[in-house]
Structure 1
Amino acid sequence: MKDVMSQPYKSGKQSCRVSVSGKNDSTFTINRNDMLLKSALDKGMDYPHNCRVGVCGQCKTKLLSGKVSPMVDLALSPLSNDEIENGYFLACQGKVRGDIEIEVNLGQHHVVPEQQVSGRISLWKRLPGEVIELRIALDVPFQYEAGQYAFLSESGSFVRRCFSFSDAPPADKNNAATEVGFLIKRLPGGQFSEWLFAENRTGLKMWLHGPYGVMGVDDPDVSGLCVAGGTGLAPVLAILQQRLAQSAIAKFTVIFGVKTQGELFAIDKLEALIAQYPGRVQLLPILSHEAVDSDWQGERGFVTELINEDLGVDYGQIASFICGGLPMVEAVEARLLKMGMNPDRIHADKFMPTG
């Protein structure tokens, strides 16, 4: 097992050399005791990542030499025991203790610089399932990619929460939007969502900080399976919009799971894509807790139950985009691997409550 365990080191700002092996070799320096991922991103490195809190596993990195201290309990890590034994760690949770050599593929994604911009709420709309459709007209254009997320906060408040963009950025060279949209579910007791739901917030000034994450990137002509649980539909909508526009041939199957028929929201947005791109989008809503005597004629059960041989997709040739609560996403990932999907083509965003 590689030495990725905590070691007693003196504090300081000693410079450490990071040598990267992979599809795009590179060398850069960071301060000792700094987190590898944050330091790499601060230097503009195109490092794979998404959640930045040790949940998604996208920043998985192999330690070839040197010492890194993991700042997360390995028992809670998304890494397998075999990966840990073979020297893998999470860059977002790895403190660099000296010169290291690592293996990770850089340059796979387009890095969008972090920005902090202000704007005002231009749309506040209640949707089924205790969801708010929120749109913010920005004071200056904001760059992001489909599948990314940003922190939102009311002007003057220290409470901020992260949410995924629900629409793709404009299809120009800068991907700069003057208005952005989100789908936000009320979380009982949640400071931000309870404040948002209390009354119509149209016109209020907001701050947006981001973007973060890498989730919607893959060969644009590869067809995809999108699995969304609840407001995990937000990044799925953005990814669908962008990828359908980028390719003339890619097709998508969308599995959208909520508990009951009354909680289905934003179906009109999915139906608009179906109408805009005939024959290229299949929608399969599924309800996990719908009353047995209701008039619902669609699918019932959990989203994983639809991932089988009868779905009509070639699991070995497509990409997947999975968004929702952590247990659901992990169950879907396991199911897709069992169906023969390439692990490198599984792109996931695991939602975790914060605050």
Structure 2
Amino acid sequence: MGSERAAPIEVGETLLSAAVRGNIPFPQMCNVGECGACKCRLTRGQLRLKKDISRHVTPEELSAGFVLACQSLAESEEVVVEVPGTARGRSADPAPVRTDARITRVTPLAPGILEVEVGLAAEVRYAAGQYAQLTVPGVPGLSEPRCYSFAEAPDRTSPRRALFHVRHVPGGAFTGWLFAAGRAGARLRFSGPHGSFRYHEAERPLLCVAAGTGLSPIKAILEQGISDGLARDVTLVLGARTQQDLYALDAVAAIEERWRGRFAFVPVLSQEPEGSSWTGRMGHVTDILREAAVAHAGCAAYLCGPPGMIDAALDVLRGRIQPEHLHHDRFLDRGSVALAASAGA
């Protein structure tokens, strides 16, 4: 049962580096210990950590053998780890598909946010919550993959189609190219699915927290929950700067209408100008979480968005929600990754 793969590793090499060189599918995004995607559990061998990983691995998890593969240096000639999706006793995730793709539609959703529909040359099966990597062949500076979460639940009738929500990153090479002109028809290279973020079955209410385009994988997970007949109470907290930054509200309303169970939607704005028409909550998502900490104690939490929001939300929720019910996906742009890499150099 499960999947077992082996690759040579040298003493002093990171687990992730050896896995990539050995063509072993391994959840990863940043390679500098910022995203937490490469968390795995050591079952045999010796490792040395390159830096503190407590932002992603609790002391209890560390005692149980959990580490980040990108920050774990081999200190023995044999190292055995369990990787989410490939561990013995559960079926392995399919290997990522690498295929040609083409942008079929680009739709503005809000200032600085586009919905990008992509047609694929091969069928791709993914779980709601996972992400894909995109590159633009033939365009200087865009050969390095950019990671975007699938923005809708899988459509089994259209496995050659994918949808993404893309935020314009100031100075970002890929988003600068995408937003500069109409890109419908442009060729891409696609790799996916990647990542272990997804719904985990638990008899618990759901607390979903998103900021910016962190809404996209949360939206996909909730849409999948509707298809699967999931009946759980849900609280969705969505953080944005101003009203104009809120997007996909029609999609959220459609989910709320179809959801089997109580559905509470709480948008909160941090920089809405005084005197505007906004009558909803002001502040940050953590303000909402602190107010309702006791109510959320029995939930399973799913957090998506920029690292600062994720870390602040985890600080509030840790100790109230068990670690095994805290699931998160940090959204890192390449500038953030480069900054983290230089800081750790």
When normalised by structure 2's length, the TM-score is 0.82
Work out which of the residue numbers 172, 184, 187 in structure 2 matches 1:205.
Answer: 187
Opposite residue 98 of structure 1, the aligned amino acid is: E
User: 1:89 maps to what in 2?
Assistant: 67
2:224 counterpart of 1:237: no
User: 1:214 maps to what in 2?
Assistant: 196
User: 1:6 maps to what in 2?
Assistant: none
User: 2:343 maps to what in 1?
Assistant: none
Deviation sequence 1:244-302 (CA, Å, 0-9, x none): 22134123211111100111111111112122336543211110111122110111100
How far residue 156 of structure 1 moved from its aligned partner, in angstroms, is: 2.2
Aligned residues: 325
Q: Is the 8 Å Cα contact of residues 205 and 232 (structure 2) preserved in structure 1?
A: yes
How far residue 161 of structure 1 moved from its aligned partner, in angstroms, is: 1.0
The within-5 A match list for 1:21-60 is: 29-33=6-10, 35-37=14-16, 49=27, 51=29, 53=31, 54-57=33-36, 59-60=38-39
Taking a change above 3 Å as real, the CA distance of residues 104 and 58 of structure 1, as seen in their structure-2 partners, is: same
Q: Structure 1 CA distance, aligned partners of 2:3 and 2:92?
A: 17
Q: Structure 1 CA distance, aligned partners of 2:71 and 2:296?
A: 35
Taking a change above 3 Å as real, the CA distance of residues 294 and 275 of structure 1, as seen in their structure-2 partners, is: same
User: 1:5 maps to what in 2?
Assistant: none
User: 2:98 maps to what in 1?
Assistant: 116
Work out which of the residue numbers 151, 158, 169 in structure 1 matches 2:133.
Answer: 151
Q: Is the 8 Å Cα contact of residues 229 and 256 (structure 1) preserved in structure 2?
A: yes
| Runs of 5+ unmatched residues, structure 1 | 1-23
Q: Secondary structure at the match of 2:98?
A: strand
Q: Structure 1 CA distance, aligned partners of 2:305 and 2:21?
A: 28
User: 2:154 maps to what in 1?
Assistant: 169
How far residue 74 of structure 1 moved from its aligned partner, in angstroms, is: 2.8
Q: Structure 2 CA distance, aligned partners of 1:27 and 1:113?
A: 13
Deviation sequence 1:144-195 (CA, Å, 0-9, x none): 11111111122323243111110111258xxx72211111111111000011
Higher strand proportion (structure 1 or 2): 1
Taking a change above 3 Å as real, the CA distance of residues 109 and 238 of structure 1, as seen in their structure-2 partners, is: farther
2:56 counterpart of 1:78: yes
| Runs of 5+ unmatched residues, structure 2 | 336-345
How far residue 26 of structure 1 moved from its aligned partner, in angstroms, is: 8.6
Q: Structure 2 CA distance, aligned partners of 1:218 and 1:295?
A: 38
- Rg (Cα) greater in structure: 1
Q: Is the 8 Å Cα contact of residues 147 and 216 (structure 1) preserved in structure 2?
A: yes
Q: Is the 8 Å Cα contact of residues 229 and 260 (structure 2) preserved in structure 1?
A: no
User: 1:302 maps to what in 2?
Assistant: 284
When normalised by structure 1's length, the TM-score is 0.80
